Amino acid sequence: MENIIKAIQEATIEIRHLIETGDTGKSENQNSTGDTQLKLDIASDIIIENHFKKLSNVKAIVSEEQEHIVPVNENGEFLIAYDPLDGSSLVDVNLSVGSIYGIYKNEFSGKNIVASVYVVFGPRVELVYCDGKTVKMYRLQDGVFNYIQDIKLKEKGNLKAPGSTQQCWHDHHKVMVDGFFEDGYRLRYSGGMVPDLHQILLKGGGLFSYPSTSDLPKGKLRQLFEVFPFALTYKCAGGGAIDGHQDLLLVETTHIHDTTPCFFGSNNEINKVLEVYEPHATK
């Protein structure tokens, strides 16, 4: 695993340079979810793939930017799913963006995730590594990732990051979000899940939601590249991660680009979601 983390650190330093100097324009291509790829998405993807392809303990990799799984080494132990530059359309307005990595064994599924890493490219570059037990944050300082702190969520926070648009929310979801704001929660939503989830983790707690909506009944965020890695991180930080009804890591994956509704937060907020969503479970 150590060599995988080292490869991610090296790729991160290259991507940081790319963000600072690269072209933020669109490419001619769309990814498999239909998003127009930016040149930065493609370039970041190539950087990461080149690093992972050198590792003998990696069996296969799959990127949010690619259609198929890429085999690396038949005898490798780990499978890695990654989103090279999540929120890349925010680079041109100079907001924070991130990379997300899920490390799996045997097959790409929530039950088989063993570790996760995300990187925030903001005013500072921070890397958060979850080994399935603890969550540790490192900061890039003079070319080196220095350990800063372990991350632990409080039982209850005061931030709310509600995804999608109110026009497409179901009524019970709207009532729930309004309820949080009536209870004094503060709105914190940049449109980049990495900085939004990072903020909730570091400020002690709250709730990030990307629910089932009228336009996207299965949510927007991808299971393997975005949702499962953060689910592992939130659970190991002492919080919760659910699809509205069950633990996100129990959600079945039938296709590598599957999405799911998702809620990440501290325990108090996750219990509130369960309460509100319980009567709306599809039997």
Interface contacts to ligand F6P, rule CB under 6 A: 86-87, 163-164, 191-193, 220-221, 226
User: How far is it, in rounded angstroms, from Cα 76 to Cα 158?
Assistant: 43
Question: Sign of dihedral through CA atoms 100, 275, 187, 203?
Answer: negative
Residue nearest to ligand F6P according to CB distances in the complex: 193
Partners of 72 in beta bridges: none
Nearer to ligand F6P, 163 or 205 (CB): 163
Q: Which is nearer to ligand F6P, 91 or 140 (CB)?
A: 91
CB of 120 to ligand F6P, least distance (A): 12
Q: What is the largest CA-CA distance in the chain?
A: 54
**For residues 209 and 266, which CB has a smaller minimum distance to ligand F6P in the complex?**
209
Residues facing residue 32 across a β-bridge: none
Phi/psi for 105 (5° steps) reads: -125, 150
| Least distance between ligand F6P and beta carbon 242 (Å) | 17
Give the three-class secondary structure for 38.
Answer: strand
Q: Which is nearer to ligand F6P, 74 or 215 (CB)?
A: 215
Burial 214-238 (b: 16+ CB within 10 A, else e): eeeeebbbbbbbbbbbbbbbbbbbe
Smallest distance from the beta carbon of 163 to ligand F6P, in angstroms?
4
In the bound state with ligand F6P, the residue whose beta carbon lies nearer, of 58 and 209, is 209
* Start-to-end CA span in the chain (Å): 40
Nearest distance from C-beta of residue 95 to ligand F6P, angstroms: 11
* Smallest gap from residue 31 Cβ to ligand F6P (A): 10
Q: What are the phi and psi torsion angles at 164 (to 5°)?
A: 75, -160
Nearer to ligand F6P, 158 or 164 (CB): 164
Tell me the closest approach of the beta carbon of residue 98 to ligand F6P, in angstroms.
Answer: 8
Q: What is the DSSP string of 53-64?
A: TT-TTEEEEEET
111, 228 contact by CB (below 8 A): no
What does the alpha-carbon distance between residue 214 and residue 29 come to, in Å, rounded to a whole number? 27
Least separation in angstroms between residue 165's CB and ligand F6P is 7
Q: How far is the CB of 219 from ligand F6P (least distance, A)?
A: 10
Residue 270 is encoded by which pair of tokens?
């996750």
Residue 86: CB atoms within 10 A of its CB come to 24
In the complex with ligand F6P, the residue whose CB is nearer, 78 or 243, is 243
Q: Of 226 and 269, which has the nearer Cβ to ligand F6P? A: 226
Distance CA 218, CA 216 (A): 5
